[in-house]
A and B are shown apart, each in its own frame.
Chain A
Amino acid sequence: MSPDVLVIGGGNAALCAALMAREAGASVLLLESAPRAWRGGNSAHTRNLRCMHDAPQDVLVEAYPEEEYWQDLLKVTGGLTNEHLARLVIRASSTCRDWMRSHGVHFQPPLSGALHVARTNAFFMGGGKALVNAYYRSAEKLGVEVRYEAPVDRIEIENGRFIAAHCTVNGKSERITAKTCVLAAGGFESNREWLREAWGQNERGEWPSDNFLIRGTAYNKGVLLKHLLEDHGADRIGDPTQAHMVAIDARAPLYDGGICTRIDCVSLGVVVNREAERFYDEGEDFWPKRYAIWGRLVAQQPGQIGYSIIDSKAIGRFMPPVFPGVKADSLPELAQKLGLDVDTFVRTLGSYNAACRVGRFDHTALDDCHTEGVTPAKTHWARPIDTAPFHGYALKPGVTFTYLGLHTDDTAAVRFNNEPSDNLFVAGEMMAGNVLGKGYTAGVGMSIGTAFGRIAGTNAARAALASKRPPAPMNKAPTAMKNEPSTLVTSCTALPPEGVRFALGRPGGKTGANHAAA
């Protein structure tokens, strides 16, 4: 049986698409490449959703208005974003949670140690895997057919229209036709060859990506992404070296290390590279606003390794790391244990310690503890590292997801030669680069996946059902929808009326998907 809507992928965006399509009355088949135990892709590692809200909302305190959310996004992406799509995501984040709850997702107040995002982020009770479980249960209850271990290697496209997908099940290739298709199969972060090709060789002759760890799923190989970009010439967005990348414990597993491998003590101490030299202002801003740049910073260092150094004053002030740090009673001993040049290390720490101008230390504010006369400076929370025992943690770049993706618009359509496809849609990491050109801010990946998953699912169902029956009075004619992207978005996102008004009313809508800044 050929389904109305074929969803390729099994994470948050795919599930949102499948649920919306099914709710709209379409028959849905979802293909997850991973086995059941590993289903959900990177969504199983997530923990919250960045949410716009104008007043306190259940687990969210105070307000996080659209403009502030947009400014935050603008800042972290350095302007590499599409304002229209970004604002679409932001507005959708303010209204999607009731729908999420109706499919069994529970929210909880922020976790201890994550109070700084109590205002901006709604936490999933139990984390992303609990959310993924809830969505699968709901999907199965609604009659969505789910197949695991069903990787799709290629799809047939004719004149920009999806025809069929080829998927390998138990070593046998199977051709699956469907009226419409949603691609939500993730980025290419677990494709080592592609990472190598994208990052290339640096001036030291190293292949930096060989030292990257992948924080998430081993199943995001980017097979379909590459296939769409290279074999079908789909319109692309983003730079293949851009990714959500954080500095994680160098001992973390190659895949699926997830949240617990993060090292959160950077702003409480100093970070040195393999040459035992500091290389960046560790106290530039609050850690939650800076953690996402440190993966890249470490990736640029020799050997793609860094060492976060703290003294005993920092213990208990950051999320306890999953692996115990290297501990020593003196700085030379610590250098030795970490395999760093003792003299350089002692000199680096000595000049940092001497440069510290300690005022009133306050880790909850941008305090006045800073350095003078040392490069790079440490602009906040600078206190001498002088109280034994000392601790050191080796850091490696940990890739969460890549930003190279398919160019899309507010209908979530895949585009060929700047023309939207009638029946092929994209959501999640495969298009997140439209909103995130670079950088990251906590919870925005799930906001993008949820917003575009829902749009893609709705539009896929609509296109499938329109092709099936003659236009009934309640269904708009597909030709009318095609030329009115904004109508499509609003009528298709199934948002409550205020959502519709937002999406329609704001003038920021550049329907093209050019980045707001280069």
Chain B
Amino acid sequence: MQPLEALTRDARALANGEIVLSAPETEVARQMQICNACRYCEGFCAVFPAMTRRLEFGKADIHFLANLCHSCGACLHACQYAPPHEFAVNVPQAMAQVRGQTYADYAWPPALGQLYQRQGLTLSLALAAGLALFLVLAVVLHGQGLAALGSTPVGGFYGIFPHNLLVGLFAPVFLLATLALALGVRRFWRDVTPATSGAPLSTPAAAEATDAVLRLKYLDGGHGDGCNNEDDAFTLSRRRFHHLTFYGFMLCFAATSVATVYHYLLGQSAPYELPSLPKLLGAAGGMSLALGTAGLWRLNLRRHPLHGDAAQKPMDRGFIALLFLTATSGLALWLVRVTPGTPALALLLCLHLGAVMALFATLPYGKFAHGIFRTAALLRHAVEKRQPNPIGLGAD
């Protein structure tokens, strides 16, 4: 009967215009009440200092704090109230569950927020669709049937897929993904701003938040020894592999951007050979991304079972795997291309382009969103901490 009572209560509250907290949100509010009376973890990260500026935790506060949390695990292992204590405080897990809700609630268009719930399926379908798209295109474009996949056409990649076709396919998907993420995070920003002093973003605040993002400051444990992974020991490996992943991704992105400039402004079309800038960036980025995602995968498998939200493991691992596939298929493509007479070029190209397409298409509906929402939360935190503390406690 309890679920029915809860539903009735929620329905009544909704009818009265009250904000109803979801189960994960309620759990964060409960745990924050305990943490706020303890505060031992204040030195670890930004979440706890932000918490001490509050006495109550409303919906916006909860989503702000949840996205500020980097799931480093330090507060769980240090917690005197962690399970098996009856208070069962597990802040990283509670926060992770709310983050899952943030991504879904703020997805644009809203209907696609559901994709977060079935990440394994979403990513496999996206990958299969991407792959199928390019395989079919390759076959259809060259009129040789399946033989097209085994051939090495004249003109390299563009011999298989013309440049303009690729631009025509990727540009809209990428732009749509960017738009979806931007609209989602804009709504998040609008909801969280009043709960975080309402003050506008200042340059020092933006600089501090940028620094925290680019250095992954909050995976350093507050003392520089790093965060937790499989146990209470601190490790810098999560931070380092994330750096390899992030900067690898950015290098690949830079390689594509530079190549676009080469193509349109300098009239030099791909493929680019070493030591050209696009090739250098792409090779370094691809290797960094492959290494980083391999490391993160291994760490994820070994992660302490109490860390994070088990329901989001498919999302985490799916995203890591897709990035890894994108990076390694790209590197393989390079190797195949410089090895004359390899028949798999077209097939490999389809695989790579399919992976990139799946990655782009799912950016706003998968793990990638964590970076966007966390950056927004860090920016709001940097703004809020510069305002006078609304609670007079610090002075006492």
Cβ-closest chain B residue relative to A260: B37
- Tell me if A417 is interfacial: C-beta within 8 Å of chain B: no
Which of B78-86, B136-144, B332-340, B350-358 is near enough to bind chain A?
B78-86
Which residues between 284 and 339 of chain B lie within 8 Å of chain A, taking CB atoms?
A: none
Q: Is the CB of B40 within 8 A of A316?
A: no
- Tell me if A108 is interfacial: C-beta within 8 Å of chain B: yes
Q: Is the CB of B77 within 8 A of A259?
A: no
How many whole Å from A254's CB to the nearest CB in chain B? 10
Known A37-B84, A133-B77; contact A316-B37, beta-carbon cutoff 8 A: no
Q: Interface 1/0s, chain B 24-53, versus A by CB < 8 A?
A: 000000000110111111111000010010
Which of B63-71, B193-201, B386-394 is near enough to bind chain A?
B386-394
- Tell me if A315 is interfacial: C-beta within 8 Å of chain B: yes
Q: Is the CB of A113 within 8 A of B39?
A: yes
- Tell me if B208 is interfacial: C-beta within 8 Å of chain A: no
- Tell me if A65 is interfacial: C-beta within 8 Å of chain B: no
Q: Is the CB of A127 within 8 A of B80?
A: yes
Total residues of chain B contacting the partner, CB 8 A: 37
| A115, A125, A133, A317 interface centre (most CB from chain B within 10 Å) | A125
Q: Is the CB of A113 within 8 A of B55?
A: no
Q: Is the CB of A126 within 8 A of B78?
A: yes
Q: Is the CB of B40 within 8 A of A112?
A: no
Contact partner of A319 among B37, B40, B79, CB < 8 A? Answer: B37
Known A258-B38, A316-B55; contact A108-B222, beta-carbon cutoff 8 A: yes
Contact partner of B396 among A45, A320, A324, A364, CB < 8 A? Answer: A364
- Tell me if B219 is interfacial: C-beta within 8 Å of chain A: no
- Tell me if A321 is interfacial: C-beta within 8 Å of chain B: yes
Q: How far is the CA of A321 from the CA of B393 in the complex (A)?
A: 13
Cβ-closest chain A residue relative to B55: A320
Known A259-B37, A322-B37; contact A316-B393, beta-carbon cutoff 8 A: yes
A residues within 8 A CB of B84? 37-38
How many whole Å from B378's CB to the nearest CB in chain A? 20
How many whole Å from B396's CB to the nearest CB in chain A? 5
B residues within 8 A CB of A123? 43
Q: Is the CB of A129 within 8 A of B80?
A: yes
Which residues between 237 and 289 of chain A lie within 8 Å of chain B, taking CB atoms?
A: 253, 256, 258-262
Q: Is the CB of B77 within 8 A of A45?
A: no
B residues within 8 A CB of A113? 39, 52, 393-394, 396
Q: How far is the CA of A261 from the CA of B38 in the complex (A)?
A: 8
A residues within 8 A CB of B49? 112
- Tell me if A128 is interfacial: C-beta within 8 Å of chain B: yes
- Tell me if B177 is interfacial: C-beta within 8 Å of chain A: no
Known A44-B80, A127-B78, A129-B79; contact A259-B38, beta-carbon cutoff 8 A: yes
- Tell me if A161 is interfacial: C-beta within 8 Å of chain B: no
Q: Is the CB of B77 within 8 A of A112?
A: no
Q: Is the CB of B80 within 8 A of A128?
A: yes
Q: How far is the CA of A37 from the CA of B79 in the complex (A)?
A: 11
B residues within 8 A CB of A253? 86-87
Cβ-closest chain B residue relative to A261: B37
Q: Interface 1/0s, chain B 6-38, versus A by CB < 8 A?
A: 000000000000000000000000000110111
Q: Is the CB of A133 within 8 A of B232?
A: yes
A residues within 8 A CB of B44? 125-126
Known A112-B39, A125-B223; contact A317-B78, beta-carbon cutoff 8 A: no
Contact partner of B393 among A127, A317, A322, CB < 8 A? Answer: A317
How many whole Å from A118's CB to the nearest CB in chain B? 12
Q: How far is the CA of A114 from the CA of B38 in the complex (A)?
A: 11
Q: How far is the CA of A274 from the CA of B84 in the complex (A)?
A: 34
Q: Interface 1/0s, chain B 363-396, versus A by CB < 8 A?
A: 0000000000000000000000000001111111
B residues within 8 A CB of A45? 80
- Tell me if A510 is interfacial: C-beta within 8 Å of chain B: no
Contact partner of B39 among A111, A129, A137, A261, CB < 8 A? Answer: A111
Q: Is the CB of B78 within 8 A of A130?
A: yes
How many whole Å from A427's CB to the nearest CB in chain B? 22
Known A112-B52, A253-B86, A256-B85; contact A133-B393, beta-carbon cutoff 8 A: no
Contact partner of B43 among A108, A115, A261, CB < 8 A? Answer: A108
B residues within 8 A CB of A502? none
Known A113-B39, A253-B86; contact A315-B232, beta-carbon cutoff 8 A: no
Contact partner of A115 among B34, B86, B394, CB < 8 A? Answer: B394
Q: Interface 1/0s, chain A 345-372, versus B by CB < 8 A?
A: 0000000000000000001100000000
A residues within 8 A CB of B75? 126
Q: Is the CB of B36 within 8 A of A320?
A: yes
Q: Interface 1/0s, chain A 120-153, versus B by CB < 8 A?
A: 0001111111100100010000000000000000
- Tell me if B181 is interfacial: C-beta within 8 Å of chain A: no
- Tell me if A47 is interfacial: C-beta within 8 Å of chain B: yes
Q: Is the CB of B393 within 8 A of A112?
A: yes
Q: Interface 1/0s, chain A 427-464, versus B by CB < 8 A?
A: 00000000000000000000000000000000000000
How many whole Å from A468's CB to the nearest CB in chain B? 33
Q: Is the CB of B86 within 8 A of A126?
A: no
B residues within 8 A CB of A321? 37
Q: How far is the CA of A320 from the CA of B390 in the complex (A)?
A: 14
- Tell me if A196 is interfacial: C-beta within 8 Å of chain B: no
- Tell me if B74 is interfacial: C-beta within 8 Å of chain A: yes
A residues within 8 A CB of B393? 112-113, 316-319
- Tell me if A482 is interfacial: C-beta within 8 Å of chain B: no
| A108, A253, A256, A260 interface centre (most CB from chain B within 10 Å) | A260
B residues within 8 A CB of A130? 40, 74, 77-78
Q: Is the CB of A126 within 8 A of B37?
A: no
Q: Interface 1/0s, chain A 296-324, versus B by CB < 8 A?
A: 00000000000000000001111111101
Q: How far is the CA of A68 from the CA of B357 in the complex (A)?
A: 70
Q: Is the CB of A320 within 8 A of B85?
A: no
Q: Is the CB of A258 within 8 A of B81?
A: yes
Cβ-closest chain B residue relative to A59: B43
Q: How far is the CA of A125 from the CA of B393 in the complex (A)?
A: 21
- Tell me if B166 is interfacial: C-beta within 8 Å of chain A: no
Known A315-B55, A316-B393, A318-B393; contact A126-B81, beta-carbon cutoff 8 A: no
Cβ-closest chain A residue relative to B42: A111
Q: How far is the CA of A38 from the CA of B395 in the complex (A)?
A: 35
User: With A130-B78, A316-B393 given, can you name 8 additional A-B contacts, CB distance below 8 Å?
Assistant: A126-B74, A127-B78, A129-B77, A133-B78, A253-B87, A260-B38, A315-B55, A318-B396
Q: Would you list 17 pairs from A and B whose C-beta atoms are within 8 A, ordered by A residue?
A: A106-B43, A106-B222, A108-B42, A113-B396, A127-B38, A127-B40, A127-B41, A128-B40, A129-B77, A129-B80, A130-B40, A258-B80, A262-B37, A317-B396, A320-B33, A322-B37, A364-B395
Residues of B within 8 A of A (CB): 33-34, 36-44, 49, 52, 55, 74-75, 77-81, 84-87, 222-223, 225, 232-233, 390-396
Q: Which 3 A-B pairs have the closest CB atoms?
A: A127-B40, A126-B78, A108-B43
